[in-house]
């Protein structure tokens, strides 16, 4: 699929794509551009210690949580991949997946080694490291 920029101007494209992938399923799925935008906000909070100019190349796989354990059956869900480019976040993949009762959401943020080193440096920047 051709990546779609996650923006208000592309709401109809994103909503149509999600509708096509989800079919009749409405529970345990992503159903709108607003839900994808909330995912972006969640990821940006986790990347907040990294300067925005270093976010390029970050990719994220997400799958919503499943039904409660009291639910007896597996359910259809939506798995998405978003990617950060210089001009913003893009929806790069949308697929159907299965989620089981009691399964937690899956949020996998993939970063480069340089981004990982920058995050480590930012995490310890507030501390004074003393020699033993």
pLDDT in tens, 9-54: 999 999 999 999 999 999 999 999 999 999 999 999 999 989 899 9
Task: Give a yes or no: residue 61 inside a domain.
Answer: yes
Phi/psi at 103 (5° precision): -75, 135
Q: How many domains in the chain?
A: 1
- Cα 7 vs. chain centroid, distance in angstroms? 15
- In a domain? residue 130: no
Range of the domain at 67: 4-124
**Would 67 be classed as within a structural domain?**
yes
Q: What is the pLDDT of residues 33-42, one digit of tens each?
A: 999 999 999 9
Give the predicted TM-score (pTM) of the model.
Answer: 0.88
Helix axes 33-46, 11-22, angle to 10 degrees: 100
| Distant-in-sequence, close-in-space partners of 95: CB < 8 Å, separation ≥ 6 | 21, 78, 79, 80
């Amino acid at each position: 699929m051709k990546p779609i920029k996650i923006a208000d101007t592309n709401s109809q494209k994103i909503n149509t794509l999600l509708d096509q992938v989800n079919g009749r399923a409405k529970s345990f799925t992503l159903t709108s551009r607003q839900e994808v935008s909330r995912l972006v906000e969640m990821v940006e909070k986790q990347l907040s210690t990294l300067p925005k100019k270093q976010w390029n190349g970050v990719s994220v796989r997400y799958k919503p949580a499943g039904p409660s354990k009291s639910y007896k059956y597996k359910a259809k869900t939506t798995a998405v991949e978003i990617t950060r480019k210089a001009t913003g976040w893009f929806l790069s993949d949308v697929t159907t997946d299965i989620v089981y009762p009691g399964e937690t959401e899956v949020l996998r943020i993939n970063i480069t080694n340089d981004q990982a080193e920058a995050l480590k440096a930012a995490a310890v920047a507030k501390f004074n490291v003393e020699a033993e």
